[in-house]
Structure 1
Amino acid sequence: MAARVHLANGKRAFIKAASSLVAPAVADFHRRETAVSQRLPAEAPTPRLLDAYDDGTWVVLALEDIPGRLPAQPWQPDELDRVLAAVTGMTEALTPSPVDKAILSKPRLGGWLEVAADDAVRAKVEELSPWAARHFDDLVVLEQNASLIGSTLLHGDLYPFNIMLAADRVFVVDWPHAWIGPWHCDAVTLLSSAWLSGVEPQPIAERHPLIRDLDPVRVNEMLALQAGFLLKVAAAAGPAADRNLVAMMTALGLASLRWLGQRM
């Protein structure tokens, strides 16, 4: 369940719940998000955790209800500017990380080595992206040499569907995939999605304070890691997989490769 609710005392909340028996992966995500949310500082642009419940089967979070909406898609320039400014402030507030690495997940990044080991998945990925087929060895090298050393708590899934725009604030929601690494990673993730709106990310990246002074190879590595994870999962998805989710992951993976191809 995921629902906005009216409480008996007149207040509102956003409730997420999952059963460990029916949806164990989602329940584990909720447990991890609870642990992260309990430790996020007040200055971070995130919903406050109001309460949590876990009886070993049911896992429930009660979060502050955000009176806002998702960003318009395609991206509107003023909204993208607002969100990028909020990401900069969030990154500063979360460096160094207020959450211990031991309770976090591993970053959902990389996959070219696994794709290389599975002929069927590799063929599907190369069908999706002829550019990847021509540059497969380059993508593997970028993944192998990638540096993810850093001290920033990163959201790990910073796409438009995890952002809420209120009247005077931007909120970043859904934190089960948080990890600790270099502070440019969330900004690169967000900008990579701009291609889906026809917005070219490179000029924006050249101005953005979290990216503009980086060694360009660090950005290339992040784009390769993102695309590797997304396209690996999408290409390996079986017939029971959510086709909307597969289509979304494919589109986002190809957007990362498009920007990477331009940079290379």
Structure 2
Amino acid sequence: MAPDPPEHRDGTGPGMPQATGSGRITWAALPDEVTAPIERLLGGKVVRANSQPGGFSEGLAARVRLANGRRAFVKAASSLTAPAVAEHHRREIAISQRLPREVPAPRLLETYDDGVWVALVFEEIPGHLPAQPWQRDELDRVLAAVTDVARVLTPSPVDAAFLGKPRLGGWLALANEGGVKQAEALSPWAADHFDELASLEENASLAGDTLLHGDLYPFNIMLTAERVFVIDWPHAWVGAPHCDVVTLLSSASLSGVDPQPIADSHPLTRDLDPVRINEVLAMHAGFLLRTAGLFGPAADPHIVNMMVALGLASLRWLRERL
């Protein structure tokens, strides 16, 4: 597995690691044969484009302003240079088109796909990412919004078969890959409790009919004065309504927030069998730590560090619960 920064080895630290990937490109770097049709869809010439922080997708992620004053947010990626990201964009198009208007997500305005380049044009949200480390009032706003989103998205408006399985789990795969030694490099506790982690994953019950975001971290949240918006939906899946809030709370521990008292009072977790939370934490950590270990030397160090920090944060909370 890839090493993590020392300040995050126990799942704690001064807030989240660097939350923007290093593979972003500018509007000016897009080929003319891509920018021209996007401008036609927008109905004007782009005169300003500002790349935005947050998230790890390669390609474009920029707020744009047109000569006619219109504003929008544009994401774009090439299937040749970033095939996985391009496919995520296509998946996000399909999901965004199915989200009810009541969901606090940016409205998808236009799409472009020439088979190589794929772009999404969203309404611009005049907001900001949550402060890191978390400010408690902002965290409380987001936690309340997560409850509302789960209510609106139950039952799921998107077919579970279309979405497939969640990005959770990794201990069972690691067991087949000789992963105990790999795990020990990051977390001696995980190596000592490897069988227990694998058992939590193997026996997990995540069944439900709620559409979950599947990637609910601060860099996928936008705050305005009035609303909380959840952005970037390519990893959505259908399951138990508590899963998003558990992963969000585990990530908040990187800001020094104790997640347990919040879980004890939050409407999506307070009445759960404690094992249900333990299962999500184990599977969350397993996915992140195994995936981080699969990256080669050319991988974006920001995403590797983020995955390791988030995975260790889940392990730390799980360790305290057990």
Indicate whether the TM-score tops 0.5. Answer: yes
The answer for the alignment partner of 2:29 in structure 1 is none
Q: Within the alignment, does 1:36 sit opposite 2:95 as a pair?
A: yes
Task: Establish whether residue 150 from structure 1 lines up as the match of residue 208 from structure 2.
Answer: yes
What is the match of residue 257 of structure 1?
Answer: 315
Which residue of 2 is the match for residue 63 of structure 1? Answer: 122
Displacement, 1:124?
A: 2.7
The whole-number CA distance in structure 2 between the counterparts of 1:58 and 1:235 is 29
Does the CA-based 8 Å contact 1:110-1:225 persist in structure 2? yes
Cα distance in structure 2, aligned partners of 1:185 and 1:57: 34
Q: 1:242 is matched by which residue type in structure 2?
A: D
1:155 and 1:9 map into 2 onto residues whose CA distance is 34
SS at match of 1:59: strand
Instruction: Indicate if the aligned counterparts of 2:78 and 2:118 stay in contact, CA closer than 8 A.
Output: yes
Q: Does 1:89 align with 2:148?
A: yes
- TM-aligned CA deviation for residue 244 of structure 1: 1.3
SS at match of 1:188: helix
Query: Could you tell me the TM-score, scaled by structure 1's length?
Result: 0.97
How far apart are residue 101 of structure 1 and its match? Answer: 2.0
CA–CA distance in structure 1, aligned partners of residues 125 and 227 of structure 2: 10
Work out whether 1:238 is the aligned partner of 2:296: yes
Answering whether residue 196 of structure 2 is matched by residue 138 of structure 1, we say yes
Following TM superposition, by how much is the alpha carbon of 1:52 offset from its aligned partner in structure 2, in angstroms? 0.7
- Matched with 1:180 is 238
Kept after mapping to 2: 8 A contact 1:27/1:58: yes
| Unmatched segments (≥5 aa) in structure 2 | 1-59
Matched, 1:226 2:284: yes
Q: 1:153 to 1:36 in 2, by over 3 A?
A: same
Amino acid at match of 2:120: L
Q: CA deviation at 1:236?
A: 2.4
The 2-side partners of 1:36 and 1:153 are apart by: 10
Checking the alignment, whether the CA contact within 8 Å between 1:32 and 1:103 is kept in structure 2 is no
Residues 188-227 of structure 1 mapped to structure 2, 5 A cutoff: 188-227=246-285
In structure 1, what is the Cα distance between the partners aligned to 2:304 and 2:76? 23
Identity of aligned residues (%): 71
Deviation of the 1:106 alpha carbon: 2.3
- CA RMSD in angstroms comes to 1.0
Q: Is 1:46 matched up with 2:105?
A: yes
User: 1:12 maps to what in 2?
Assistant: 71
CA shift at 1:18, angstroms? 1.0
Q: Which gives a bigger RCO, structure 1 or 2 (Cα 8 Å, sep 6+)? A: 2
Asked if 1:2 corresponds to 2:61, the answer is: yes
Please state how far the C-alpha of 1:23 moved relative to its aligned partner: 1.3
Give the Cα separation in 2 of the matches to 1:132 and 1:68: 39
Q: Is the 8 A contact 1:125 1:235 kept in 2?
A: no
Greater Rg over alpha carbons, structure = 2
Q: Is the 8 A contact 1:105 1:177 kept in 2?
A: no
- Distance in structure 2 (CA, Å) of the matches to 1:8 and 1:103: 39
Does 2:176 align with 1:117?
Answer: yes
Counterpart position of 2:163 = 104
Deviation at 1:105, TM superposition (A): 4.1
Structure 1 position 75 matched with structure 2 position 134: yes
Q: 1:59-113 CA distances to partner (integer Å, 9 max, x unpaired)?
A: 1100111111110111111110000000100110100001122332421000001
- Number of paired residues? 263
Change (3 A) 1:182 1:223: same
